[in-house]
Structure 1
Amino acid sequence: MIDQSTPLPNVAVVGLGKIGLPLAAIFANNGYKVFGADINKDVVTSINQGESHVKNEPGLDHLVLNAHKNKTLSATTATSEAVAQSNIIVVIVPVLVDEQNNIDYKIIDRAVQDIAKGVKKGSLIIFETTLPPGDTKNKFGEKIEDISGLTMGEDFYLAYSPERVYSNQIIQDLQNYSKVVGGVNKKSLELASNFYKKALDCKLIEVSSLETAEFSKVAECVYRDVNIALANELAQFAEDKSVNMSEVITASNSQPFSHLHSPGIGVGGHCIPIYPYFFINKGLDQGLTSLSRKVNDNMSNYAISKIKKRIGSLQNKNILILGLSYRENVKETTKSTALLLIDQLKDNRANLFVNDPLFSDSEIAKYGANPLSLNDSFISEIDVVILQAFHQEYSHLDFHKFASCKLVLDGRNKLNKKEISQLGIQYEGIGN
């Protein structure tokens, strides 16, 4: 329990998205008064009404409502004002890559400018946004110095502690994962560590520098990307040798030093397909890191080639993609393999349909696909089904309805091959 006999410093959380809002809500329920800042007016309005705009995040609705009732959480679009009222500023706004995979700093640049205009002497600024090594100090620390006239490490303190959570279990992860913390100097590290001990009551891993903390987060994502690429490469080779890759993984991983990931139709989301470019674009442009990106992004091509090998031309075939989201049970399309499949199926002049229970018909249509309910009678006219994201709604899918279906491509190796095959439908997995 936190000792609240001494008032805790005010906290500004800049960026109230799927990670920023849980952080703000937890801080606000642990004795801190939190001023949230976000450029989205609808997000600000919902939070100020005690409602979470982030869905499917267990426990978050309660935390937001409770903080609202206790008047410990408020939100504003005026970042500088939120910062000016606070002693600790936590920055968690997105840094992504553009279509050419160049790092896109536009959103965070704007946020840092606003932070620099509001920061006061003695404040602690902590970046949680995933960044290329060196950016916290050399890009953003120096920008704050230039605009504010304050000196980092003396007039304001600077730390970095990467978010390391997984959608649908963020609050649980914040409790269970160790918090990696680095500071621009000893005082910055001490202040940040003390804050997280009180605010999150979690274990800490204090590292020697900002750059080490930054590097650790990107390295985590590169590891997973490389491991998945290895699994995808082995899965394709296993198919050539008529070997079941799922059995291989179970057998191989019984050895305690083997940690093969699962193969799949592609890798999506805000992390794994994006953050390797934070190394690639800073000089690590040769070797496994860049090669893995190519292997994983090519899995959609591989999937389409498997379909064409089975049924021939896709022109005028009715093809249904299950899952617009990048992964199961999350409403998020960033770098989703579904988008790559949509483009390729259009190039092959297929009749393209998408089902995703987390998205409305109009939301699906924006991606250039025809939305199709699983209760629609047209299901019986579908020629090919591609499982892209295994939402829980697909766990009991009735393939009897797909009377004309010739092939099911199970891009996540989650469907029942035996049941599908007994209906006279060809089944294809990845490595199976």
Structure 2
Amino acid sequence: MITNQQEALANVAVIGLGKIGLTIAAVFANNNYNVYGSDINKDVVATINQGKSHIVNEPGLDKLVLTAHKSKNLSATTVTAEAVTKSDIVVVIVPVLIDNQYNVDYQLIDAAVKDIASGIKKGTLVIFETTIPPGDTQHRFGKKIEELSGLRLGEDFYLAYSPERVYSNRIIEDLKKYPKVVGGVNEKSLELAVKFYKNALHCELIEVSSIETAEFSKIAECVYRDVNIALANELAQFAETKGVNMSEVIVASNSQPYSHLHTPGIGVGGHCIPIYPYFFINKGLKQGMTRLARTINDRMANYAIAKIEKELGSLTDKNILILGLSYRENVKEPTKSTTLLLMDQLTNMRSNVFVNDPLFTNEEIKSYGASPLSLQDKFVSEIDVVILQAFHDAYTDLSFEEFKNCMLVLDGRNKLNKNEISSLGITYRSIGNEKPKEEL
């Protein structure tokens, strides 16, 4: 049972062992907590119980998992209720996404909450880290646990919310660097959560007045970035009509300390920015910049294809290669990737669409409906258009000399060598960094 002596706690259940869940579980385990991880994926559980990480490209994670395994501080199971029963603290990091109609998809986390309720014992502290619409921690999940377990919220079990605020490829670093925002359903819940994170993460904490404030703060971060990127994309399109280089504008403007213009690009993807604004929109924020930003950023794929059509005309039967299935550089994550939007539109135009991504196998690329193409394949000489969507490190020294038939390169991230591409007789186009065609 939880007491004021929080330091005596040793057992923690982490529900959801994806890239963030496994990393925080491993960090907890390396900070002298006995961690019981839970995940519905049997292969993930089996891998962790062998002392191995199923997550790639997360610096330091392999070592943390192996160390925790050897010390017997980290184990995994597919039976969530079992992990919960063994634990005094339960940390929930199960994904919440949106469906094709932009409605919140609670399926996975609702199932996890039912399992938590079936295993919870009196005195347990439950902390949600999953990004969710404001009010859901207490009024959807807390009440469901209370209803199913028969325990009283805030008295028999405690409830807090502390959003994950990390970035792929640097999660361990960010857990140390970023302050941990924490809100509780009552004073006791907040007190217990704060003490736990102080011991488990050794990071700075920001205590807020309510669970809803903590929930709201995470979504607000994502909305800010989405709106800022949308502004950059809008200005980049306008800059092109005026013959102005947007990259130079950003450097110049951001030399003023109150200017924080983001970088324009071909679109916005991932688990966060294209998804979490809808948690506000679906709660009543129907008008204004939040919704407009989503529209602008999702239309960047259309804008990019229109630029190509302006140069080449019809794209029917054109061989088009997209570089990067991932939503961003150096991360194996296709969720809401702009590549998926590009593929849909180009397929409807009856283009022949190919995708290259060094982080994915050919079979994985095929599972998204794309034809994989190695950059060493002789067929690259038949490619008509190349679109850069995710600038992986593997593309840093990419040479276009073998692209004998290529007519145009659309640099969706403004990262490629324009002079080198142009010297091969290939038309180079980017986002916001070129003059109007009539002035070229």
For Structure 1 versus Structure 2, the TM-score category normalised by the shorter chain is: over 0.9
Structure 1 Cα separation of the partners of residues 317 and 79 of structure 2:
51
Give the superposition deviation at 1:285: 1.1
Aligned pairs (5 A) from 1:19-418: 19-418=20-419
Answer whether contact 2:33 2:73 (CA < 8 A) is retained: yes
Structure 1 Cα separation of the partners of residues 221 and 177 of structure 2:
17
Deviations, residues 173-212 of structure 1 (Å, cap 9, x unaligned): 0010000000001110010000000000000000000000
Partner secondary structure for residue 386 of structure 2: strand
Answer whether contact 1:8 1:31 (CA < 8 A) is retained: no
Deviations, residues 91-120 of structure 1 (Å, cap 9, x unaligned): 000000000110000000000000011111
TM-score if structure 2 supplies the norm length? 0.96
Give the superposition deviation at 1:418: 1.1
Structure 2 residue aligned with 1:426: 427
Answer whether contact 2:9 2:88 (CA < 8 A) is retained: no
Give the superposition deviation at 1:7: 4.8
Answer whether contact 2:13 2:90 (CA < 8 A) is retained: yes
Partner secondary structure for residue 134 of structure 2: coil
Question: In structure 2, what residue type is equivalent to 1:77?
Answer: T
Question: In structure 1, what residue type is equivalent to 2:234?
Answer: E
Give the superposition deviation at 1:8: 3.3
Answer whether contact 1:267 1:337 (CA < 8 A) is retained: yes
Structure 2 Cα separation of the partners of residues 151 and 427 of structure 1:
63
Instruction: Count residues with an aligned counterpart.
Output: 429
Structure 2 Cα separation of the partners of residues 422 and 164 of structure 1:
43
Structure 1 Cα separation of the partners of residues 205 and 414 of structure 2:
37
Structure 2 Cα separation of the partners of residues 239 and 344 of structure 1:
23
Answer whether contact 1:316 1:349 (CA < 8 A) is retained: yes
Partner secondary structure for residue 19 of structure 2: coil
Structure 2 Cα separation of the partners of residues 8 and 281 of structure 1:
38
Question: In structure 2, what residue type is equivalent to 1:81?
Answer: E
Question: Following TM superposition, where does structure 1 have runs of at least 4 consecutive aligned residues deviating by more than 4 angstroms?
Answer: none
Answer whether contact 2:327 2:333 (CA < 8 A) is retained: yes
Structure 2 Cα separation of the partners of residues 377 and 55 of structure 1:
29
Question: In structure 2, what residue type is equivalent to 1:417?
Answer: K
Give the superposition deviation at 1:9: 2.4
Structure 2 Cα separation of the partners of residues 347 and 428 of structure 1:
22
Structure 1 Cα separation of the partners of residues 8 and 29 of structure 2:
13
Give the superposition deviation at 1:423: 1.2
Structure 2 Cα separation of the partners of residues 121 and 421 of structure 1:
68
Question: In structure 1, what residue type is equivalent to 2:287?
Answer: Q
Question: In structure 1, what residue type is equivalent to 2:121?
Answer: K
Provide the alpha-carbon RMSD of the alignment: 1.1
Answer whether contact 1:266 1:337 (CA < 8 A) is retained: yes
Structure 1 residue aligned with 2:4: none
Answer whether contact 2:10 2:32 (CA < 8 A) is retained: no
Structure 2 Cα separation of the partners of residues 10 and 363 of structure 1:
37
Structure 2 Cα separation of the partners of residues 265 and 271 of structure 1:
17
Deviations, residues 300-336 of structure 1 (Å, cap 9, x unaligned): 0000000000111101111100000111111111000
Deviations, residues 346-366 of structure 1 (Å, cap 9, x unaligned): 111111111000111111112
Which segments of 5 or more consecutive residues in structure 2 lack a partner in the other structure?
1-6, 434-440
Question: In structure 2, what residue type is equivalent to 1:424?
Answer: G
Structure 1 Cα separation of the partners of residues 318 and 105 of structure 2:
38
Deviations, residues 154-187 of structure 1 (Å, cap 9, x unaligned): 1001000000000000000001000000000111
Give the superposition deviation at 1:152: 1.1
Partner secondary structure for residue 364 of structure 1: helix
Structure 2 Cα separation of the partners of residues 238 and 310 of structure 1:
19
TM-score if structure 1 supplies the norm length? 0.98
Question: In structure 1, what residue type is equivalent to 2:173?
Answer: Q
Query: Does 1:13 pair with 2:14?
Result: yes
Partner secondary structure for residue 400 of structure 1: coil
Deviations, residues 371-399 of structure 1 (Å, cap 9, x unaligned): 11000111111110000000000010011
Structure 1 residue aligned with 2:437: none
Give the superposition deviation at 1:422: 1.2
Structure 2 Cα separation of the partners of residues 301 and 289 of structure 1:
20
